Structure 1
Amino acid sequence: MAIAAASDPSDLIRVMIVDDSVFVRGLAARWISEEDGVEVVASCRSGLQAISGFAAARPDVVILDVEMPDMDGVQALPLLLAAKPGLAVIMNSSFTTHGADLSLRCLALGAADVLAKPSKASGSPDEYRRDLMAKVRALGPAARRRAGQAAVAAPKDVPRAPRQKPIPAPAAAPAVGASRSGASQIRAIAIGSSTGGPQALAEVLRALKPAAAHAPIVIVQHMPAGFTATLAKHLTETSGFPVREAMDGDPILSGTAYVAPGGRHFSLDLDGSRAVARIEDGAPINFCKPSVDPLFRSAERIFKSGLAAVVLTGMGSDGASAVPSIAASGGRVIAQDEASSVVWGMPGAAVATGACAEVLPLKEIGPWLVRETLRGRR
């Protein structure tokens, strides 16, 4: 294992690379060394090496291979997270069904995000480099904030003041912020998420089970191609109702949740009087594919005031440009609050529009949607 000397200035994002491939370690280290504001503090060929050298390296972000000899990523992840509260771990996975399944297990254990190693199916090295650096830059500062908060946390035996609920931004349209008795009944739920999204989706969908029979649920989660079918399988197991990867022409039915396939845009269209899925291979939107914007905009056109759009944790601003039109149609936009987000990029951008009806902690989003979906149906 190679450990770099500490560097100045102290605000550099410190990155540990853990991969049994010499080529991958060397490539990632070269890319990071060419970027400002980040540095490689350790390069390890196994989970065992990463654990033994962790205290000396003091990373903010770990790029962790899923499959390795001696100790793989699934085994190493809990030990790394225990070594430093707030640590951001990006799983580096091969483009296989087995790799996707292991990656989803790691996300459930607390990994922040997943990357697919370059292949013919999962993108070019240039795309991989761009995604890698974007995730490192988004997760590094957030990891430092969480680590700092953990370091100054009050002792467990000292009572702590309750966290205040964030105050929603002022409404941009008369329909937003209207009294609950005057709001339209929710007929469909659209969700956009990115970094930290699989864990957030699992919690929201699990809470949504009582309302799932009354409103279809459509989802865009930023994830590599080939991983979303596995994500749908995991969400089915945790939610208790069917979650499937959307296919072009699928009727959008209550009682089911539909996830955009990785690497394809997902939108809704009308076939007569019923909503159907449209899956397209267009250019990236907001540097994302799938993008939240096409789903939100098409859902608003079909469901209008009956739409609830949810923006969960994620980097960037995908989905925010559709928020004002949803509000103007009488639909409601709910954003995850900063304290419960892994990265407050997407929800923060949505809040900045001034058109969110609610800004809620993750644990309150599902129950809010259930109340509003079942209101008037009991």
Structure 2
Amino acid sequence: MSAIARHTNAAGAATNPIRVMVVDDSVVVRGIVGRWIEEDPAMTLVASHRNGRLAVDDVTKSNPDVVILDIEMPDMDGLTALPLLLEKKRDLFVLVASTLTRRNAEISLKALQLGAADYVPKPETNSGVTTSADFRRELVDKVLHLGQRARSRVTGRPSTPGSGMPVIGRPAPAPAAKAKASFTIRAYSSVRPRILAIGSSTGGPQALNTLFGEIGSSIGQVPVVITQHMPPTFTAILAEHLSKAAGRPAAEGKDGDVLAPGRIYVAPGGKHMILARHGADTVVRLTDGPPVNFCKPAVDPLFKTVAEIYGNASLAVVLTGMGSDGAGGVGDIGRAGGSIIAQDEETSVVWGMPGAAAHTGQCSDVLPLPEIGRKVSRILLGGRP
């Protein structure tokens, strides 16, 4: 059982388990995933369907909190079913499951744009699904986090980040000034940033597209480095999407790349991306070390090297995401005199990473997503924070 499952069970969630629907054309996958759901007292399987049409017809009756949705299915595929499911149940969270082909990665990112909450890479074979401990852990953890988020929409209970495993929730709307009052906020650095570093996970692709639509015209004088928790193939396509959103060149970082102003470097899936000095230049280094905070790529290694090289000329943003990756790096940047902005809980799909960052006491602001772009642009252009 996963750490988050144990945490949820201890909180008494088993008395009101998260309702899950599984939609996959493979009877083997439906059976395996359904068994994983039923084995965890924090969840219950309310329906299992072989295609999107059956899921759409049943979603009102079954009333799931979370749907695990396959992409490729007969009769009605996942991408067609997604908006119909969300139309019938507007508070539904959909977790897309797809294999790691470029086509499926493209479709999965399209699904996120259409309203899916997150995705999980699925092994290519049924035997791979059966034997992959990583797939089971990631799937179960994401269902639990999204299910908690769904329940908190009803209860209005806020999240309580801590111990690296936040309880996800959504508070009743509150004025921005009141939200900030619950955190220790540091002053922004008086030094104009020479780099923008961003960390994100669950909900990140949507948030990044929104952010870069705002700041594209403002990043001409600084390089931008991003760690988004994503598998290989997905990160290359994400970079293409961000390039379109920002109107700037974007690509996966390559070992030895010299950072250049106005360019966006995305950590490639399956590698950690860090920065290093090479003479007068700053270069990208890719490392194949073990996962950090269960993630590879991870935010903490990138932020640590940003702090070491840029110090008080660092500007970092922590967007929506599960877990607490990035909090250690936020501490490094804050102690070096840099500035950090965390996304607020109300606009985050999951307030794990930004919540953990906010509670370090090193952030200069905790802002709704629509305000982050405007603030970042003003700072990068030399205005007052």
* TM-score (norm: length of structure 1): 0.89
Per mean C-alpha deviation after superposition, the further-off stretch among 368-377 and 287-296 is 368-377
Instruction: Count residues in correspondence.
Output: 351
Residues 243-278 of structure 1: CA distance to partner in whole angstroms, max 9, x if unpaired?
A: 211111111111111111111111111111111111
Q: Which residues of 2 match residues 20-169 of structure 1 at below 5 A?
A: 20-119=25-124, 125-146=132-153, 163-165=174-176, 166-167=179-180, 169=183
Does 2:282 match 1:272? no
Residues 27-78 of structure 1: CA distance to partner in whole angstroms, max 9, x if unpaired?
A: 1111112112111111010000000111111101110011111111111111
Distance 1:131 1:188 in 2: 32
Give how far 1:187 is off.
0.9
Distance 2:350 2:152 in 1: 11
Give how far 1:86 is off.
2.4
1:296 aligned counterpart, secondary structure: helix
Question: Does the C-alpha gap of structure 1 residues 11 and 268 become closer, same or farther in structure 2, counting only changes over 3 Å?
Answer: same
Distance 1:146 1:89 in 2: 15
Question: In the alignment, is the contact (CA less than 8 A) between 2:122 and 2:135 conserved in 1?
Answer: yes
Question: Does the C-alpha gap of structure 1 residues 191 and 31 become closer, same or farther in structure 2, counting only changes over 3 Å?
Answer: same
Question: In the alignment, is the contact (CA less than 8 A) between 2:21 and 2:47 conserved in 1?
Answer: yes
Distance 2:122 2:316 in 1: 32
Question: In the alignment, is the contact (CA less than 8 A) between 1:310 and 1:335 conserved in 2?
Answer: yes
Question: In the alignment, is the contact (CA less than 8 A) between 1:208 and 1:369 conserved in 2?
Answer: yes
The letter of the residue matching 2:180 is I
The residue that corresponds to 2:299 in the other structure is: 292
Distance 1:65 1:10 in 2: 29
Distance 2:190 2:88 in 1: 47
Distance 1:119 1:55 in 2: 31
Residues 298-335 of structure 1: CA distance to partner in whole angstroms, max 9, x if unpaired?
A: 11111111111111001100000121221121100100
- Moved segments of 4+, more than 6 Å: none
The residue that corresponds to 2:346 in the other structure is: 339
Question: In the alignment, is the contact (CA less than 8 A) between 2:216 and 2:245 conserved in 1?
Answer: no
Structure 1: gaps of 5 or more residues: 1-7, 150-160
2:323 aligned counterpart, secondary structure: coil
The residue that corresponds to 2:213 in the other structure is: 206
Distance 2:311 2:365 in 1: 18
Give how far 1:146 is off.
3.0
Match of 1:220 among 212, 215, 227: 227
Question: In the alignment, is the contact (CA less than 8 A) between 2:14 and 2:43 conserved in 1?
Answer: no
Structure 2: gaps of 5 or more residues: 1-12, 157-171
The letter of the residue matching 1:31 is W
The residue that corresponds to 1:323 in the other structure is: 330
* TM-score (norm: length of structure 2): 0.87
Question: In the alignment, is the contact (CA less than 8 A) between 2:342 and 2:357 conserved in 1?
Answer: yes
Superposed CA RMSD in Å reads 2.0
Distance 2:88 2:193 in 1: 44
Residues 4-24 of structure 1: CA distance to partner in whole angstroms, max 9, x if unpaired?
A: xxxx96520111001111111
The letter of the residue matching 1:363 is P
